[in-house]
Amino acid sequence: MPFGYGPAAKAIALARRLREDWRLVFVGRGSALELVSRTSGLFDEILPGSATDPACAERIARAWGVLSVMDRDAGVAARRCGRPLFVVDSLAWMRPRAPEALADARVYWAQRFGGLAAEGFEPRPSVVGPILAPTAGARRPRDGGLVVHLGGSAAPRGREALYAAYARFVVKAVIGAGLGARFPRISVLGGGAAIASLDGVLPPGLAQIGSAAPEEARALMERAGAVLTAPGLTTSLECFLDGTPTWFLPPQNYSQWCILRHMRGAGVADDALHWEDLRDVPKLAERMAPEIRDPIVCAEIEALVASARAGAALRSRLRGVGEGAGERVSRQSAYVASLGPPALETIASTLRRLALAPHSDLAAAAASH
């Protein structure tokens, strides 16, 4: 999916596990392409654009199969080219059924989270644990720093100005909460557009800002004394898995709106500010249609990041960042363990087995995965 870093980070983690068995071709655009372009030697080919573009579709037609990380164009292209489609979906818990473009997947891996209801979901999903690389093993020494993670900061329909305003709102709250005096260093990570919007916002010498490849960002967060992140699912679960004490920012989009609500209910983000805590902000239902939810979410966040009241509320919550880290890690580690083991090996072994099955037996083999 071309929006947000989560899907691209999953594609990169999967590619590291799959490259020993396949020649890998990445097709993508937007923040997915931005993130993948920071990797080196991972993909045999990188094709910028939509999977339905003629040059990309021609390449897909010669492939053994298509693995879509929630990218609907990839599903359309696979169907047109007659290639087997496999889907990785970390937001299946937000949907009553698969998107139509992905509905004929031979295997549909759904990441366990929130209120995922596998019964009645079509196609029948294979429910798996977190779709992310396992922890590196021995934990790195902590450096006591704070990492502020803004995520990919990308979304459809020209929301660059909204994400830039969110980034500035967050950084001003971090400064106003006095976190620069509490932590020996602050590192701000985010998508290129959000990082560019911070020019002149940070006092000189207070923080390092920039974008990073997924493995670099994860290593930085794994060493940190604390992470303060937008409530995207991939980074949150990586930090939980790595034992990094994690605090949360308000949501940037609808999926994060719902993710943070679930995280607070599970007791792993109960002190985080959700926009819904503020007076007159609507309590949005889950599984709302995009054409209904997106204008509401964008309008609310646009107003809130310009609000002095919201800024004061966030500064108040951020003053607790770094306190009670050990107990927080215990709760967050137990939570990610409850979701099951990381799913990369499950996905890789299933694809390997299906690749060895006679073509006529592929559908049957997929059904028995």
Confidence (pLDDT) at 359:
57
Confidence (pLDDT) at 162:
85
Instruction: Measure Cα distances from 38 to 31, 78, 217, 250 in Å.
Output: 11, 26, 11, 27
Instruction: Measure Cα distances from 333 to 41, 116, 351 in Å.
Output: 32, 20, 29
Instruction: Find out whether 177 and 185 touch, Cβ atoms under 8 Å.
Output: no
Place of tokens 């698969």: 98
Length of the chain: 369
Confidence (pLDDT) at 291:
87
Both tokens of 202, joined, read 């940070």
Q: Say how far apart CA 1 and CA 291 lie, in whole Å.
A: 18
Cis peptide before 123 (omega within 30 of 0): yes
Confidence (pLDDT) at 369:
53
Rg value, the chain, Cα: 20
Q: Say how far apart CA 28 and CA 2 lie, in whole Å.
A: 6
Domains in the chain, CATH or no CATH each: 5-134+342-367 (3.40.50), 146-338 (3.40.50.2000)
Confidence (pLDDT) at 174:
95
Instruction: Measure Cα distances from 70 to 100, 142, 293, 333 in Å.
Output: 12, 34, 19, 27
Q: What own/partner pairs with CB < 8 Å and gap ≥ 24 does 110-117 have?
A: 111/233, 111/339, 111/343, 112/339, 112/340, 113/233, 113/259, 113/262, 113/339, 114/258, 114/259, 114/262, 115/262, 115/286, 116/92, 117/93
- End-to-end alpha carbon distance in the chain: 25
3-state helix, strand, coil in the chain (%, to 5): 45, 10, 45
Tens digits of pLDDT across the chain (369 residues): 877 788 888 999 999 999 988 999 999 998 888 889 888 889 999 999 999 999 999 999 999 999 999 999 999 999 999 999 999 999 999 888 899 999 999 999 999 998 887 887 888 999 999 998 887 665 667 888 999 999 866 555 667 788 889 999 999 999 999 999 999 999 999 877 778 888 888 777 777 788 778 888 888 999 999 999 999 999 999 999 999 999 999 999 999 999 999 999 999 999 999 999 998 899 998 888 888 998 899 999 999 999 999 999 999 999 999 999 999 999 999 999 999 998 999 999 999 999 987 654 555 545 555
